[in-house]
Amino acid sequence: MSLGDWFEERTGYRAIVREALDEPVPGGARWAYVWGSALTLSFLVQVVTGWLLMAVYQPSATSAWSSVAYISQNVSWGWLVRGLHHYGAQAMVVLLVMHLGQTAIYGAYKKPREMNWLLGLGLMSLTLGFALTGYLLPWDQKGYWATKVATNIAGSVPLIGGWTQRLLVGGAEYGHLTLTRFYTLHVAILPLGVLVLLAAHIALFRKHGVTPPRKADLSRVDRFHPKQLARDLLIGLVVLGIVFALTLRSHGAHLDAPADPASDYPARPEWYFLSLFEALKYVPGHFEWIIAAGIPLVAGGYLVLLPFIDRKPGSSLAARLVWLMPLLLGLAGTVALTVLSMRKDAADSEYQKARTLAEKRAARALELARGGVPPAGPLAMLAADPQTRGPELFDKHCASCHKLGEHVPPDGKVTAPDLTGYGTEKWVLALLDNPDAPAFFGKTPFAGMMPSVTRPPKDPDAAQYFTKMKPEEMKAIAAFLVSEAQGKSKKGMPGEKMVRERCTSCHRLDGKSDDPESLAPELRGWASVRWIEEQIKNPGSGKTYPPGAMAKDLKGHMPAFQDELEAQEISLLSRWLYEQATGASPH
């Protein structure tokens, strides 16, 4: 007895397979019938890839992002599995629209198929639920902020909004309970609902069969196998091919930086929710719930009632156009709003700038994760990283006055020295040449306090005592100051001798100056990480500038940040500023 005969004797599977393959297709096999099968195949891909991801994923606010990063970077072919799951979910949304459109155009919602239409709408709702709940699971910036926006809008609905939001969030704060509730919905409750509705949907479909177009030759009846099955498999393979291509092109699904409730992030939903996001822009904030909840309710109500309001016999599209017009207009409006939202974002320089910054943070987070994520989680990892925290701290506390590369004051008005190249020979030489230039002290209370070593003073009395510094002397001073910044200065350097001869009439060196009333800064260790730290803590402490210089004589031009920033933040900011300004690693 063969293995097939053994199974047949015990299960009767051949009759089941024969019944499925011999299903009649009135009017003949058609390409229009393939979307339901393609959708089912895509769902199976989601199930398999989802199971594989569950083997590694950890649903915890501390470890979720780390586990997804591990899947993407360390697990063999993990990036491929995650990419197939991500793009497969998007393919299901597209296939849903195709299947819904074909069903509506062919009138497959009419008697006696009303229940199957309603089951299909239920499956559509669950599929969108999959998309919404899966969005949060990586616990990255994109998913976190998009979900927070969505739940906040849900919470604004009168009467039930607050209760709904607390149920989804798991309390007042977004955290571990939020993630575990969305995870439970995504991997347990929604899949169970899909299996039940899908089984009922297929059973009713087999009971009533396909709905052929009005002009179909009903005398022609094909069997599901081989013509319709071949079409279904071919389209299914095409869909899988597209999903594979998208995955390979992007080397898996994108992973943003870890979710950070304290950060600013340019939140946007996935493309299939962009139309609703765009529509919300045209109503005041306290009326957002009308759009966010009203549009889905109206659209869902229309689709549910469609079989019961379009009751005339016949499947002629022209005769049913009046009932299908809301559906057509709704699809057209959705496409138009989606395209409009994308075009607005493409033309929005501020959004693009924020998007670029977000991409840099994401890339840096993944780079750090390759070396391992500490038990405290990815935010602790990023909090100890100068390249991540440095730009944030500078933009928040320093860029209101200073400029450093692409980091500029929001209003564009630089009122303190430009720190681009600070601590380099080029910067020092330019300062010596013209300290009152706009890039240095020209826009500060220091203007006029430091003389140029190459340009005679405008005052004739002072000009007669002026001696122009030679280029080699300027270079010697610059080399000494750069060596101080780098912690590489040596005793007897020519530049140190020049500093004592030409600069200590104003500046301090080792805490000493020829003029005890001078406000000029200390040059020992100038522009080093340690010097920058002390300057940020308290510029008038006496360690960088003379005691009280900033607070009294210069009217608080630069504030002390020692009470506003933690010691670790000052250290991170100093190291990052040094590295960005000089292009060298902090010593």
- The tens digit of pLDDT for each residue in 29-83 reads 888 899 999 999 999 999 999 999 999 999 999 999 999 999 999 999 999 999 9
Tokens of 146: 């998009």
The residue among 309, 338, 357 that closes a domain is 357
Average pLDDT on 215-244 reads: 87
Domain contains 117: yes
Domain hosting residue 498, numbered range: 386-582
Tens digits of residue pLDDT in 263-310: 888 988 888 888 988 988 888 877 777 887 888 889 999 999 999 999
Among 3-12, 405-414, 436-445, the range scoring the smallest mean pLDDT is: 3-12
- CA pair distance 406, 386, nearest whole angstrom: 17
Residues 445 and 334 in one domain: no
CB atoms within 10 A of CB 36: 21
Average pLDDT over residues 195-207: 91
- Residue 422 located in a structural domain: yes
Q: How far apart are CA 453 and CA 503, in angstroms?
A: 10
Give the chain's domain count: 2
pLDDT of 552 > 60? The answer is no
pLDDT tier for residue 96 given thresholds of 50, 70 and 90:
very high
pLDDT: which is higher, 419 or 286: 419
pLDDT of 548 strictly over 70: no
Percent residues over pLDDT 90 in the chain: 57
Residue 399 has pLDDT above 60, yes or no: yes
First to last CA, the chain: 79
401 lies in the same domain as 498? yes
Say if 115 falls within a structural domain: yes
Residues 181 and 282 in one domain: yes
pLDDT score of 554 = 52
Clarify whether residues 322 and 405 are in a common domain: no
Q: Flag whether 364 is in a domain.
A: no
Q: Are 288 and 212 in a shared domain?
A: yes
Which contiguous run of DSSP H or E holds residue 104?
Answer: helix 78-105
Q: Please provide the average confidence, as pLDDT, over all residues in the chain.
A: 89
* Residue 379 belongs to a domain: no
What pLDDT shows up at residue 457? 85
Domain check: are 500 and 396 in the same one? yes
Q: What is the mean pLDDT of residues 112-117?
A: 93
> Which of 336, 357, 378 is the C-terminal boundary of a domain?
357
Distances in Å between the Cα of 187 and the Cα atoms of 71, 138, 224 are 18, 14, 33
Per-residue pLDDT averaged across 327-348, rounded?
A: 95
Q: Is the dihedral of CA 11, 17, 19, 20 positive or negative?
A: positive
3-state secondary structure 173-236: CCCHHHHHHHHHHHHHHHHHHHHHHHHHHHHHHHHHCCCCCCCCCCCCEEEHHHHHHHHHHHHH
Asked if 97 and 185 sit in the same domain, the reply is yes
368 in any annotated domain: no
The whole-number average pLDDT for the span 309-331 is 88
Worst-scoring range by mean pLDDT, 43-57, 75-89, 414-428, 551-565? 551-565
**In the chain, count of helices (H) and strands (E)?**
23, 2
Of 357, 377, 409, the residue at which a domain comes to its end is: 357
Same-domain check for residues 179 and 241: yes
Least reliable range by pLDDT among 44-58, 158-172, 392-406: 158-172
Q: Cα(522)–Cα(542) distance, rounded to whole angstroms?
A: 8
CATH of the domain at 217: 1.20.810.10
> Has residue 257 been placed in a domain?
yes
In 200-359, beta strands by DSSP E: 221-223
Shared-domain flag, residues 498 and 392? yes
Question: Which pLDDT band, with edges at 50, 70 and 90, does 550 fall under?
Answer: low
Tell me 550's DSSP state.
Answer: I
User: What are 221's strand-pairing partners?
Assistant: 26
Q: Are residues 500 and 353 in the same domain?
A: no
Residues 350 and 397 in one domain: no
pLDDT (mean) for 483-497: 90
The contacts of residue 275 (CB under 8 Å, 6+ apart) are 333, 334, 335, 336, 337, 338, 341
Q: How far apart are CA 67 and CA 136, in angstroms?
A: 14
Domain membership flag for residue 482? yes
The answer on 178 and 42 residing in a single domain is yes
Question: Residue 582: pLDDT band by 50, 70, 90 thresholds?
Answer: very high
Segment 20-28 shows an average pLDDT of 80
